[in-house]
Amino acid sequence: MRVVVAMSGGVDSSVAAAQLVNEGHDVIGLSMQLYDQQAGERQFGGCCSLEDLHDARRTAATLGIPHYILNFERQFDDAVVSTFVREYAAGRTPIPCVQCNGELKFTHLLDRAAAFGADCVATGHYARLDRTIPGRTILRRGLDPMKDQSYFLFTLTQAQLAKAHFPVGHLHKAEVRARAQAYGLAVADKPDSQELCFVADGNTARFVEERMPAVAQAGSIRDLGGRQVGSHDGVHHFTVGQRRRLGLSTSVPLYILEIDAAANTLTVGPRAALERTRLTASNVNWIAGYSPASSRLITARIRHRNPDAPATVKPLPDDRVAVTFDEPQCAVAPGQAVVFYDDDTVLGGGWID
């Protein structure tokens, strides 16, 4: 089988490629150039950098497979970076990794893979695929609970999953590194990337301002009674649940409860006021290709690192849902994803309104 491997230069995608070669597949390595690599143009983070592209090429040479770098600068800016900036300017908290996976790796990269005559695209994601039901692909959590990345894949469709392959999803991270050592890969001990690839210093507010200067407008901070208790220098600095950098001196710690970008105001209150038992989400994708006919008991996550929470999801018109949790959830942030599970099966997810 001919397989295209999305090679990021990290240990996970490198081991994915090595395993496929070891299994006898015809493997082609593809890496995505996501921004201008000219020296001095700008500094990006520790993911998708020029060094990562070199590491991917070195791994491909070690494995004896062809390796190509694809220029996805325009697609990355349109689908990921621009969306990130617009969301923060609108007072929402985006997850760019979801757009990168759905729009780039499993849309544009799938198209390029077809041009190579490949049967599927493999990545280093910690997730698993179940194809025991004819004509259907089930997305399951990765076996390593500390590395599971299924949360970031909820937008994938049946057509995309049918062409996907996750060779390391059944492994724990320690096993992946051990296999990298056994395969003689130079990236075996390479640290995992932790930051956004396009925000090198972690200063998301400054990045948003560079792209959209008009967002830096002073506004008011108000309490639950509507009384002004302070001021801010732009809603893009904040997210729901945030406590730091408010500049308020109060006897009780205050947290951001709501961001109103149109009015340029923040509403703050005590931690208890952050708790919610209900949310709505839009642009919902159901992995099976169709929504439940009625309300369904599930578990849901409102953040990647949050534990699963028992809930009921009710389908609404226009690809929307209402989610009611059994227990209150803290800091439900618009713009984040809510992802639905049934045990280890990913049912789907949507964007929190």
In a domain, 302, yes or no: yes
Q: Where does the pLDDT of residue 44 fall: very low under 50, low under 70, confident under 90, or very high at 90 and above?
A: low
CA angle, corner 199, sides to 197 and 300, nearest 5?
A: 70
Rounded to whole angstroms, the Cα distance separating 142 from 168 reads 8
In a domain, 183, yes or no: yes
At residue 92, the pLDDT reads 96
Of all residues in the chain, what percent carry a pLDDT higher than 90?
A: 84
Average pLDDT of span 111-130: 95
In CATH, what number is assigned to the domain containing residue 182?
3.40.50.620
Regarding whether 113 and 192 lie in a shared domain, the answer is yes
Q: Which of 93-102, 128-137, 329-338 has the lowest mean pLDDT?
A: 93-102
Per the model's pLDDT, the better-predicted residue between 128 and 198 turns out to be 128
Regarding whether 282 and 235 lie in a shared domain, the answer is no
Instruction: Find the helix or strand (DSSP H, E) in which 109 lies.
Output: helix 109-115
Which residues are marked as active site?
100, 197
The pTM for the full model equals: 0.93
Of all residues in the chain, what percent carry a pLDDT higher than 70?
A: 96
Tokens of 291: 């929504």
- Across all residues in the chain, what is the average pLDDT? 93
The number of residues in the chain equals 353
Rounded to whole angstroms, the Cα distance separating 305 from 327 reads 17
At residue 39, the pLDDT reads 46
At residue 47, the pLDDT reads 60
For residue 37, pLDDT over 70 is answered with: no
> Quick one: how far is CA 188 from the chain centroid?
24
Average pLDDT of span 124-153: 97
Q: Which residue, of 144, 168, 202, is where some domain finishes? A: 202
Beta bridge partners, 281, equal 321, 352
Q: Mind listing the pLDDT tens digit for each residue in 241-275?
A: 999 889 998 889 999 999 999 999 999 999 999 99
Regarding whether 187 and 231 lie in a shared domain, the answer is no
Q: Where does the pLDDT of residue 195 fall: very low under 50, low under 70, confident under 90, or very high at 90 and above?
A: low
Q: Which residue, of 178, 202, 226, is where some domain finishes? A: 202
Regarding whether 66 and 44 lie in a shared domain, the answer is yes
Regarding whether 281 and 263 lie in a shared domain, the answer is no
At residue 100, the pLDDT reads 87
Regarding whether 278 and 311 lie in a shared domain, the answer is yes
Cα torsion 58, 194, 19, 172: sign: positive
Rounded to whole angstroms, the Cα distance separating 348 from 297 reads 13
At residue 29, the pLDDT reads 98
Average pLDDT of span 196-220: 90
For residue 82, pLDDT over 50 is answered with: yes
In a domain, 207, yes or no: no
At residue 40, the pLDDT reads 47
Rounded to whole angstroms, the Cα distance separating 238 from 248 reads 14
In CATH, what number is assigned to the domain containing residue 341?
2.40.30.10
CA angle, corner 14, sides to 8 and 18, nearest 5?
A: 145
- Provide the number of structural domains found in the chain: 3
Buried b (16+ CB within 10 A) or exposed e, 162-185: ebbbbbbbebbbeebbebbeebeb
Average pLDDT of span 280-303: 97
At residue 48, the pLDDT reads 65
In CATH, what number is assigned to the domain containing residue 239?
2.30.30.280
User: Alpha carbon of 263 to those of 58, 157, 212, 344, 346: distances in Å?
Assistant: 52, 37, 18, 41, 37
Regarding whether 117 and 188 lie in a shared domain, the answer is yes
- Owning domain of residue 75: 2-202
**Longest pairwise C-alpha distance within the chain:** 68
Tokens of 86: 């617009």
CB 326, CB 311: distance < 8 Å? yes
